[in-house]
Amino acid sequence: MSKLPFLRTLTFFVFFLTVIGRTFGQEEVPEEELHQQYLQANDLIASFQFDEAQKLLSECYIQDQDNVDYLSKIAYCNFQMGRYPDAKMFYRKVLALDSLNTNALSSLGTIYEREQNFRNAEVCYLRLLEIDTTNSYYYKRNGYTALRLGKTMEGISFFLKGHEVNEADIEIIDQLSQLYLSFEEFGYVDDMLKKGLDLDPQNIKLLQNKSRLHQKRKEHDLVVESIEKTLAQGDTSDYYQMMLGVAYLQIDSIDLAIKNLEHIVDRGKDSEYTHHYLGLAYMVKDSTERCIEHFGLAIEKGISPKMSDFHADLASVLEKENQLVSALGHYKSAVEFGDNPEHLFHLARLSDKYYKDKSIALKHYRAYLRTGDGKYRTYVEDRIEQLKELIHFRGQ
């Protein structure tokens, strides 16, 4: 059994006995002296000396145990030192004396959020809105809590109300633009980002949201423009540098695509997608050895639904290098990992090319026709007839 709950109880019990003992055994401190002690504690808080500040505040609390200011500051010191159980206890004491104390409610809500106790945080933040419906911060905190509780539409509603109250809140604009992006409401995203970037043109989060919007619209040159602005400010996000590398690949700036994708590899943050796109980039540069290397690493790291494409891309390169057995193996894996009819066609086509036993290719061609895909249907139907005749004459 953990000793921590026992130690917390013991600590509070000792503190309680100390307070009781001093209350009955200590002379009353003059009010002016008490006030000076309180001001000294505030100075210590301002210089982040929370433990020393709490000692002075405890002396003040001994003299006046119903003083909300003393209780609030003791709670705050505990909060800053990560002593959440003690902080919550003193904030609750504040609320017992003053149920409308917004500082205590807000701080309790923040502690509950940090503890991942979003239901209790929600109770605190909703209470704040009951007290004041004109405070955008309260709407914002309720928005975040609603999202973490899976109440997406409620979260959007809170953020929208917060935006109505304070249109200059960049954080709310960021959240709304992200939410609208997830629903592909691109017109609303445009409106939000315009407002936000007019207020703060270099805001990294808004520029990142803008790059995602351009990516969804396949505006690759604008993706590059947005992300380069964030990198110029020192942003090192692997996700967005990956997006930048892919965007450069899409606009045929192959060297810049490779540069950005290789940076991710150098930092040890590479994934199967990093290597897949590097493979595509080296394919464009006719650097076959590097291309095969990265397609292979993509497969080695692969756990994603794109495994079928990884195998097919590697197979196509190996086929060009006349490594037909390896190519066939990867086309088979492509078919096993996914349901893309084109992969099945290429397996049939290469089987037709490699195997003398044409029944193997015939089996794959027929499987392709069963998919209902029309891209290669005419060719496949004609080739099936040819193979049937060939097999007949060979007596296979």
Q: Would you place residue 11 in the very low, low, confident or very high pLDDT band (cuts 50, 70, 90)?
A: very low
| Out of 13-22, 186-195, 227-236, least confident range | 13-22
Q: pTM of this prediction?
A: 0.78
Residue-wise pLDDT for 13-50, tens only, equals 444 444 444 444 456 778 788 889 999 999 999 999 99
Q: CB-based contacts of 334: which residues, under 8 Å, 6+ apart?
A: 308, 309, 311, 312, 315, 340, 343, 346, 347
For residue 309, what are the CA distances in angstroms to 243, 263, 375?
A: 19, 24, 18
What is residue 21's predicted lDDT score, i.e. its pLDDT?
46
Residue-wise pLDDT for 80-106, tens only, equals 999 999 999 999 999 999 999 999 999
What is residue 396's predicted lDDT score, i.e. its pLDDT?
53
pLDDT over 70 (residue 322): yes
Cα(263)–Cα(238) distance, integer angstroms:
9
Cα(105)–Cα(121) distance, integer angstroms:
9
Residue-wise pLDDT for 348-392, tens only, equals 999 999 999 999 999 999 999 999 999 999 999 999 999 988 887
| Out of 22-26, 71-75, 248-252, 337-341, least confident range | 22-26
Q: What sign does the dihedral 158-211-276-233 (CA atoms) show? A: negative
Residue-wise pLDDT for 298-313, tens only, equals 999 887 788 999 999 9
Q: CB-based contacts of 72: which residues, under 8 Å, 6+ apart?
A: 90, 91, 94, 101, 103, 104
Which whole number is the average pLDDT over 211-228?
Answer: 97
Q: Would you place residue 7 in the very low, low, confident or very high pLDDT band (cuts 50, 70, 90)?
A: very low
pLDDT over 70 (residue 326): yes
Cα(226)–Cα(203) distance, integer angstroms:
11
Q: CB-based contacts of 168: which residues, under 8 Å, 6+ apart?
A: 199
Report domain extents, the chain.
Answer: 340-396
Q: Would you place residue 6 in the very low, low, confident or very high pLDDT band (cuts 50, 70, 90)?
A: very low
Of 139-143, 234-238, 333-337, highest mean pLDDT:
139-143
The amino acid at residue 210 is K
